Amino acid sequence: MSTASPRPWTLLVHGGAGILTRDTVSAETDAAARAGLDAALSAGGAVLSGGGSALDAVEAAVRVLEDDPTFNSGRGAVLTFDGAIELDAAIMDGRDRNAGAVAGVTRSRHPVTLARAVMEHSPHVLLAGTGADTFATEQGVEQVDPDWFMTPERRAQLDAMKADPDNWFDVDMKYGTVGAVAVDGGGHVAAATSTGGVTAKRWGRVGDSPLIGAGTYADDRACAMSATGSGEFFIRVGVGHEIAARIRFTGETLQEAADTVLTETKALGGTGGVIVVGPHGDAAWSLTTPGMYRGRVSQDGERRVAIYGEEG
């Protein structure tokens, strides 16, 4: 009896989109971001090259980014208006569209791992606030003091924003969510996204990252997608599900679907970017901002990290 040959695996990661140009990103930040993205590609790529699942790969990649203070997720997350940390994350398995998500958690070192625990060990999809923190403790997810997440740079960003009463909300989303999408040798896709939200957010604000179908989505029939950008607009469009639906029902390529949906989102007033991968190893990224921290590695040996729009 013959068996099907493994399909080519592919992994994409992102570390946020926004006003990222060679004039606005320092040489130090440029180097740190590229190193962080490369480390995430190595972590997730090692899972896939060893025959592991797309789900394990995206979790591994995002955990690396959550520990890197260069990005707005986990350690290095932006601060709320009151100077606190509130973390959101989601993970989704394209095989059966199972998903887990958390919003407003305060002590889990790796919110993406907590989101996976929600998916695998609870009857729910999304847990929030104190209940999610309690669940994390019950599940043995690693907990840290909230001060561990905070960095002087994020404190300075909050102080500068609050000093300008006309600019108290980070509408440009300059500091970026993180995410990963992958397809494994079995042709299964998965997605994961993690974020600290936006600087100076108030009243328990939650963006698109932990909302299945908006900032995170995976379906073996179409694609896996992780988004970063103006969350309120990505929610209104349902960016993740919209991209997958266009691929399924119109026959558009990943690139065509992503570009079309981001153009629609921009027309409403929201900018950002997405990474997308399909069950046959095809992949794309699309952005409507000057730059997006992003990277790609695949079984054919391709390995690439980019920041600025002109990098393609």
**Which pLDDT value is given to residue 172?**
46
Handedness of CA 16, 98, 95, 110 (dihedral sign): positive
Q: How far apart are CA 231 and CA 197, in angstroms?
A: 9
**Which pLDDT value is given to residue 174?**
53
Q: How far apart are CA 187 and CA 152, in angstroms?
A: 43
> Does domain 10-307 correspond to CATH entry 3.40.50.11540?
no
Task: Answer whether residue 16 shows pLDDT above 50.
Answer: yes
Which residues are catalytically annotated? 177
Residue pLDDT, tens place only, 197-233: 998 899 999 999 999 999 999 999 999 999 999 999 9
Backbone phi, psi, residue 33, to 5°: -65, -45
**CB of 239 closer than 8 Å to CB of 179:** no
Q: Which residues pair with 103 in a beta bridge?
A: 128
| Res. 2 pLDDT band, cuts 50 70 90 | very low
**CB of 191 closer than 8 Å to CB of 179:** yes
Report the candidate in 199, 151, 152 with the shortest Cα–Cα distance to residue 173.
199
Residue pLDDT, tens place only, 261-296: 999 999 999 999 999 999 999 999 999 999 999 999
